[in-house]
Structure 1
């Protein structure tokens, strides 16, 4: 695999919310833009645009979303690492969601410029945030 990734900032500000295990998908989740539901044994995690999340839901708001442009072979090694390492070494927290065609990485919206600079310094083709 070529180490250079093509990365875009996805428009919007995102939230990561916690619901009860096996929760049904709420109506406020629906709509355009990137979104994800992750079920685990002890919780349901929802990622969507932050303006959709009701105030009473346990949530972390203020996230920007980066997306790698794939697809990549499923057995390709190092894709997530080559994306996360420059962010983490520059003190930027990440929340990673992998899809069939690529990766989505949530970072604090306040760190978008710093993230773009770190990813470019690591050799990636990173589109400037809007």
Structure 2
């Protein structure tokens, strides 16, 4: 297992599925994934709420090359064992692992128990 240093991303996120879109109508997004069934959009959560909010754990402190196996599995395995759902947006250097905000403390505990370091947002 590869120990990683994760930072909790400030703020929270919401996920949207836009079945008939190829691009969002605005530029207020953090990540986009286009698939045959439509567009998935990750946005910063609006202040008025409504949708389920997600908390992000990002491994920028543990940046790695694309040829390093097991980096994402090292994060997802303890979260799966703790029964915590995830949504992942991978970048060139690391992975943004989103968990439901209501489970963020449990996720941090599971990741720490698996040997990862978790830092609060600055």
Distance 1:3 1:14, change over 3 A: same
Instruction: Quote the Cα distance in structure 2 between the aligned partners of 1:18 and 1:67.
Output: 22
Equivalent residue pairs, number: 121
Distance 1:84 1:25, change over 3 A: same
Instruction: Quote the Cα distance in structure 2 between the aligned partners of 1:80 and 1:114.
Output: 18
Q: Which residue is equivalent to 2:31? A: 36
| RMSD between superposed Cα atoms in Å | 2.4
| TM-score (normalizing by structure 1) | 0.82
Q: Which residue is equivalent to 2:4? A: 5
Q: Does 1:71 align with 2:68?
A: no
Structure 2 unaligned regions, length at least 5: none
Structure 1 unaligned regions, length at least 5: none
Distance 1:7 1:110, change over 3 A: same
| TM-score (normalizing by structure 2) | 0.87
